[in-house]
Amino acid sequence: MAVSVVLNGSRSGTRVSQATRQQILDIARELNYRPNALARSLARRSTHIFGFYSGFDYFDARNPFVAELTAGLLEECARCKRDLLLHTLFRGQDINSLYDEMLGGKIDGLVVWAPDDDPLVALLRDNQLPVVSVVETIPPFPSVGVAEYTGSYEMGKYLFERGHRSVVYLTLNAPSKSRMRRLAGIREAAVQMGMEFQIKVDPAWETWQQTLAPAHNSGLRPTAIACWNDMAAYQALSYCRRGGIAVPEGVAITGFDGIESPIEPDMRLTTVYAPWAQVASTAVAYLVDLLEGREVPTETILPVELVCGSTA
């Protein structure tokens, strides 16, 4: 009992003299003894580790958006004295084995970035592990996101005020609630202001010229390309340069995310700044609240900001 009190900090009420305490520490040092972290976590029912799960195939730490999320997670975990364990569904892994791993006592709570029809999400709904979703809304879990509809609507309004009357919107083929909110915002702005609006799904270089060709319904050539995120906008900018199309004189280009590049670009992107690092850190703070029995909001929406650059 005395050894447990000294080495593991157990609260048994056993009193240990300073001489005995020092003798135990000296022997432990001679034996190179280290407490079993897993056993201690099971006894205390806490690992001081939070997990982060991505249900999207394009989870890549080199992706600026993913890097922002991860930075926010790590920052808040450090502040709360927690470690972070990353989970992804690698090829060939069974979803049930990943679920069992999460529920096996390795983590105290989980931040999820996934579509609401993700198979792991369905399993997580039926257990008591604290879960907070980011970017996407996944009932019944608390979620943290940004005002995507509002930001996208404001971008459409901005393009109209800059004189654009025909807009192409570039997005991905795989829909998610997040991308649909962005699409809905700018499309609503186009409808209200009478702008022509086309949707293009992640066009490759071979089809890029068709994107900038005159619209079939009226013959108006699109003068603005609004992209669902900054990465797509930079790709569009590259395509325009390859095709000899001046930006913004020939066509305006806008993005969404507003993530700072570590290298100063030659053109500043007109975009919507979204505080993704703050989204992630807020989710971690909510996990702490849930573990300590405090209520958290069902949905938290952080504001965004239109940033005017040199591309539109």
- The pLDDT tens digits of the residues spanning 94-107 come to 788 888 888 888 89
CA-to-CA distance for 222 and 220, rounded, in angstroms?
Answer: 6
Q: Show the domains of the chain with their CATH numbers.
A: 2-35 (no CATH), 49-146+276-304 (3.40.50.2300), 148-273 (3.40.50.2300)
Both tokens assigned to 272: 């919507």
pLDDT of residue 177: 92
Residues of the chain with pLDDT under 50: 36-44, 215-217
Beta strand 305-307 pairing with 271-273: antiparallel
pLDDT of residue 204: 65
pLDDT of residue 222: 87
Total residue count of the chain as it appears in this document: 312
- List own/partner pairs for 161-166 with CB under 8 A and 24 or more apart: 162/224, 162/252, 162/312, 163/223, 164/195, 164/223, 164/224, 164/252, 165/194, 165/195, 165/196, 165/220, 165/223, 166/195, 166/196, 166/198, 166/215, 166/218, 166/220, 166/221, 166/222, 166/223, 166/224
Both tokens assigned to 36: 């079993």
pLDDT of residue 137: 94
pLDDT of residue 38: 43
Both tokens assigned to 208: 């890029």
- Phi and psi (nearest 5°) for 290? -60, -40
Q: What stretch of H or E contains 276?
A: helix 276-291
* 118-142 CB burial, b ≥16 within 10 A, e <16: bebbebbeeeeebbbbbbbbbeebb
What is the DSSP secondary structure assignment for residue 310, as one 8-state letter?
A: S
Residue position matching structure tokens 């975990």? 77
Residue pair 182/228 in contact (Cβ under 8 Å)? The answer is yes
CA-to-CA distance for 234 and 15, rounded, in angstroms?
Answer: 66
What is the DSSP secondary structure assignment for residue 106, as one 8-state letter?
A: I
pLDDT of residue 150: 98
- The pLDDT tens digits of the residues spanning 263-285 come to 667 889 999 999 999 999 999 99
Residue pair 267/237 in contact (Cβ under 8 Å)? The answer is yes
pLDDT of residue 157: 98
The model's pTM is 0.81
**What proportions of the chain, in percent to the nearest 5, are helix, strand and coil?**
40, 20, 40
Residue pair 273/305 in contact (Cβ under 8 Å)? The answer is yes
Residue position matching structure tokens 């025909």? 166
User: Nearest to residue 107, comparing CAs of 89, 90, 124, 126?
Assistant: 124
Residue pair 109/291 in contact (Cβ under 8 Å)? The answer is yes
